[in-house]
Amino acid sequence: MRRRALLLGALARPALAEPGFPSRPIRLFVGSSAGGSQDITARLLASRLTPLLGQTVVVENRGGGGGVLATEAMRGAVPDGHTLVFNNMGAFLIVPLLHGGWQPWTELEPVGPVADVLTVLVVPSARPWNSVAALIEAARTAPGQLSWGHPGIAGSGWLAALRLDREAGVRTIEVPYRGGGPAMLDLLAGRLDFMFATTATALPHIAGGRLRPLAVPTHARLPALPAVPTMVESGFADFALRSWFGVMAPARTPPAIVATLNRAIGQAMAGPEVAAQLAEHGESPLFASPSEFRRIGDADQAQWGKLAMAHVPR
């Protein structure tokens, strides 16, 4: 009986837990307000990590500053794995470059990516353009006249539009907004000419015939938009924008704890059910080891950071 009780006790313990970790609830700071796709994905992750780790993962929203406020919470956190930050690529890599000073990507411990965030180049259906080439020709014909919106610098839509201008050799008008919702409203109303929008925002309007998709900045066509070409197919070599959500821990968090958290994230976000839930927000699962996550971030910062810094005066 004693052996059976010990066996049952062992089976009840979380299989992924490092001995002694976690010993209390885990705080997960999220760099967005409640209700958006980033917050929804963070809460999905937290709900699935809780049974795996045997402790509640508590989401704390720290929106503002392009996600910087959430990441700042890591600076004074004890490096024991009980305080983590969930943020987007721009907040981790690009915003700190633009503002200088503290660089979280090199000063924190990468735990792992969680999801790819997908975008699509769209125009109002009333516009005559049916391809990226037609949009570019219109921009060349009327330099400084075509406009596009974005919900903030360092986001995937902002970076993709900057790259389109640079590689096509055209000049368009950037219109910043306080959020993706207001920008989408102006695009639908015809007050903007085009936008790299998240698929979660754009797909319903594409299905409803109010927006026309021209291309996706990915390596392969999206299952949700199989007839829409990639930017590479549209004549732009290697035009694939990786934007993602990921988790980081305070500097000097022990490698064993980081590894435990990484394994838990991979297990939490695996399977068709999670993939389907992420697809509702225009995302797809993304998993990598901490070292691979570091390499992904280094490559993205080298590629997109230079573009962002050339555009924004410092």
Q: Grade residue 3 by pLDDT with cuts at 50, 70 and 90.
A: very low
Q: Angle at Cα 208 formed by Cα 206 and Cα 213, nearest 5°?
A: 15
Name the residue with higher pLDDT: 51 or 95.
51
pLDDT in tens, 276-303: 999 887 789 999 999 999 999 999 998 8
Q: What is the model's pLDDT at position 42?
A: 95
Q: What is the model's pLDDT at position 7?
A: 33
pLDDT over 50 (residue 4): no
pLDDT over 70 (residue 40): yes
What percent of the chain clears pLDDT 90, i.e. is strictly above it? 66
Q: How far apart are CA 120 and CA 299, in angstroms?
A: 22
pLDDT over 50 (residue 70): yes
Name the residue with higher pLDDT: 200 or 185.
185
Q: Tokens 């125009």 — which residue?
A: 123
Q: What is the model's pLDDT at position 17?
A: 54
pLDDT over 70 (residue 22): yes
pLDDT over 50 (residue 1): no
Provide mean pLDDT across the span 89-103. Answer: 87
Q: What is the model's pLDDT at position 313?
A: 59
pLDDT in tens, 121-140: 999 999 999 999 999 999 99
Q: What is the model's pLDDT at position 272?
A: 95
pLDDT over 70 (residue 113): yes
pTM of the predicted protein model: 0.82
Provide mean pLDDT across the span 216-221. Answer: 91
Q: What is the model's pLDDT at position 281?
A: 78
Q: What is the model's pLDDT at position 68?
A: 84
Q: What is the model's pLDDT at position 18?
A: 63
Q: How far apart are CA 47 and CA 68, in angstroms?
A: 24
Which residues share a beta bridge with 197? 120
What percent of the chain clears pLDDT 70, i.e. is strictly above it? 94
Angle between helices 156-168 and 132-141 (to 10 degrees): 70
pLDDT in tens, 243-272: 899 999 999 999 999 999 999 999 999 999
pLDDT over 60 (residue 314): no
Provide mean pLDDT across the span 10-30. Answer: 74
Nearest C-alpha neighbor of 193 from the set 231, 234, 136: 136
Q: How far apart are CA 43 and CA 49, in angstroms?
A: 10
pLDDT over 60 (residue 2): no
Distance of CA 255 to the CA centre of its chain: 25
Domains in the chain and their CATH numbers? Answer: 25-116+244-311 (3.40.190.150), 119-215 (3.40.190.10)
- Could you tell me how many residues make up the chain? 314
Q: What is the model's pLDDT at position 33?
A: 80
In 153-304, the DSSP E strands lie at 173-176, 195-198, 211-215, 243-249, 283-285
Q: How far apart are CA 242 and CA 2, in angstroms?
A: 53
